[in-house]
Structure 1
């Protein structure tokens, strides 16, 4: 049995037994009890100038193969969102190409894809509300033309320009009026992007949620759901309980997803959330198996499968949370979905070796290492490269 070498923050090493490969089965039919999207990352060309500030050069074969893998497990793909390094290395040209290519793969695989719509192709920091509306519309219509579902992301431009809740109502009203396909709204908290403080007109989540719900109520026929990424389970449940009929709550809470997705199926309150999670890109097979368990009426197996992944996800998304993308790409490399642990913009350097070691330890315990021997081989090689005996 292979022993995993682990390293702590003070440089001490220890060993842990490598778990066997997980015995998980791909679904034979579409998942029924929950809609679940994995927010996917991008893989750069290994030989590209993957340094801060450089345009993204994407390894399209590896990037799209990862999406095909997600579809094979019955999950949908949420693309061109913060997991794909929007506003953290994925430039406008690469974003457009990613959306077009990902939508094409979804059609080929018969999978469901939603993609981020933002204003980030405008390279000015400060623009007026009219320009923000136009920027949103441009990306929205491009997304619709590709045949992907739009996720209206929180805009840094709007956060800077808005002087009141009414400014948010106006922008969303004008953008949603032109939507020709149902839209998911995205409320991204400051843990993911500090520049979005005060979004929807207030730093108090209860006041902000009131504005969000007003926007949804006014345009319920245009809105498929809302993705909440506040890392606050009580706030999510509060909003979920007040959504109009037919509007879904997609949890973006990578700290508390087990109870939020399980909901009344596991005896936790009324209703449930669906899922649109960066964490599900890191644990796709386990997430699929857990939802298959719900489909089979086996909530105990759902908890047994997904429960151990939450401590892993909490570590991957530990503060500073916006560097969680490094953990997602690291697990992708360990699991054989890319040949090198590299990221657009040099973000593979954003987490320490002990942080990555803890990911290895927790992934091993949560059955999230798809090919344990490969993962151990790659991890031990990384340790040796960094001067740690393994």
Structure 2
């Protein structure tokens, strides 16, 4: 039996048995009980200057190959979002090319793709609301021209420029009016980006959610859904139950997704209290975590499709501890864990990231990811993962 070497924060080396490959099977029909997107990362050219502040040079074969793999498991791809290092290394030129290439792959694979629309191509930190609106509209038009579904991401420019909730209402009203079809709105919490404090006009989620619901109500024909990433299950359920008919809640809660996605169909899953009379039985998914554990997520949703709530919980439940480790504070460095697992699982040749972000987590932190991925069957090729991890330990002077 192969042993998996682990490194603790105290420097102590231990080992556990390497689990067998999970044996999950790809779906033979589209997933039906939930709509699920994996927010995908990008893979840089290994020989590029992958250091802070340098332009992103993307390994397109590996980056797009990962997206093809996601489609093969029946999930959709959410691209050019924070998992792809928006505002953390992915520059405007690389973002535009990623959107175009990803949309083309989606057409080739028959998959569903949504992509982030932001204002981050503007270099000036402080711009007036009119420029915020124009910047949103510019990226929105480009995204629609590529044939991808837009996700209106939370904008740092808007957070800086807005002086009241009315400013948010105005910006979203004008941007949504320019959309040719329904879009997804994204509420990203400060754990992911501290610059977004007070988004939608308040630091109190209850007050801010009132503004969000008003924006959706005024533009219901232009909103397909909301992705909430506050890492607070109760706030998500509260907003979910207030959404107009036809507007989906896409959980972005990488801490509590098992209960939120399972919803009333999995009553034994840990989840916040919901109104039993509510027609909103569950959240759909748009998660960075699902990029780290795509086969497991697919197998769990296949179980829900088959009406097997116990199997859903048995498959997906153990991954939540892994996701909490990947997204541990400082949460915005979670991208490092996603790329690390991509490398362990053979989706890229090297553990490299745009902007040098592969150095953002410690070796003991990564060791805990390895341990939890092994325990939750998130290692797609366990022997390969063990070989790569042990080589990394040796490179860092840890015997394996």
TM > 0.5 = yes
| Other structure's SS at 2:10 match | coil
Q: Cα distance, 1:181 vs. partner? A: 1.7
Secondary structure of 2:24's aligned partner: coil
In the alignment, structure 1 residue 293 sits paired with structure 2 residue 311: no
Cα distance in 2 for residues equivalent to 1:284 and 1:387: 32
Matched residue, 1:331: 341
The 5-angstrom pairing of residues 65-104 of structure 1 reads 65-104=65-104
Measure how far apart 1:23 and its partner are: 1.2
Instruction: Please give the secondary structure, in 1, of the residue aligned with 2:78.
Output: strand
Q: Which residue of 1 aligns with 2:253?
A: 253
Q: Give 1:10 deviation, angstroms.
A: 1.4
Q: Distance in 2 between matches of 1:60 and 1:182?
A: 29
Question: Aligned pairs, how many?
Answer: 390
Partner Cα distance (1:299, 1:123) in 2: 48
Q: How does 1:118-197 map to 2 (within 5 A)?
A: 118-197=118-197
Partner residue in 2 for 1:308: 318
Between the aligned partners of 2:266 and 2:15, the Cα distance in structure 1 is 35
Aligned to 2:178, what secondary structure does the other structure show? coil
Q: Which runs of 5+ in 2 are unaligned?
A: none
Q: Which runs of 5 or more structure 1 residues have no equivalent in the other structure?
A: none
Q: CA deviation at 1:22?
A: 0.5
Q: Quick check: 264-273 or 27-36, which moved more?
A: 264-273
| Aligned residue in 2 for 1:22 | 22
- Give the secondary-structure state (helix, strand or coil) at the position aligned to 1:177: helix
Query: 2: CA distance between counterparts of 1:221 and 1:264?
Result: 27
Q: Deviations over 1:325-369 (max 9, x none)?
A: 000000000000000000000000000000000000000000000
Equivalent of 1:365 in 349, 372, 375 = 375
State the SS of the aligned residue for 2:224: strand
Mapped partners of 2:88, 2:122: distance in 1: 15
1:272 and 2:260 aligned: no
CA deviations 1:254-304 (Å, max 9, x no partner) are: 000000000011026451000000000000000000000000000000000
Residue 13 (str. 1) matches residue 17 (str. 2) = no
Residue equivalent to 1:56: 56
Match of 1:42 in 2: 42
Deviations 1:226-275 (A, max 9, x none): 00000000000000000000000000000000000000110264510000
Cα distance per residue 1:141-192 (max 9 Å; x no partner): 0000000000000000000000000000000000000100210000000000
1:96-123 Cα shifts (integer Å, max 9, x gaps): 0000000000000000000000000000
SS at match of 1:143: helix
Structure-1-length-normalised TM-score: 1.00
Q: TM-score, normalised by structure 2?
A: 0.97
Residue 345 (structure 1) aligns with: 355
**Hey, what does 2:331 align to over in structure 1?**
321
CA-based RMSD? 0.5
Runs of 4+ in 1 over 2 A off after TM superposition: none
